[in-house]
A and B are shown apart, each in its own frame.
Chain A
Amino acid sequence: MLGSHLVTLIVFSGLVSTVFALLLRDTTSERLRFGLTAFAAFVLSTLVIGWLTNPFPR
Chain B
Amino acid sequence: MSDTGAAVAARDSSRTVAAGLLAWVFPGLGHLYLRRRGKGLLLMASLVALFVMGVAMKSRLAMHLGLEDPLALLFGLAQVGAGAPYVIARLLGYELGEVTSPSYEYGNTFTAVAGLLNILVILDALDTARGVKDRKEA
Contact = CB atoms under 8 A, between A and B. Distances in A.
Interface of A: 1-2, 8, 11-12, 15-16, 18-19, 22-23, 26-28
Contacts of A2: 53, 57, 103, 106
B103 A26 contact: no
Range for the number of chain B residues in contact with chain A: 20 to 34
Interface of B: 39, 42-43, 46-47, 49-50, 53, 56-57, 103, 106, 109-110, 113, 117, 120-121, 124, 133-134, 136-138
Contact of A11 (B53, B120, B124, B133): B53
9 contacts: A1-B103, A2-B103, A11-B53, A15-B46, A16-B113, A22-B42, A23-B120, A26-B136, A27-B136
Nearest to B31: A22
A19 B53 contact: no
A1 B56 contact: yes
B2 to A, nearest CB: 33
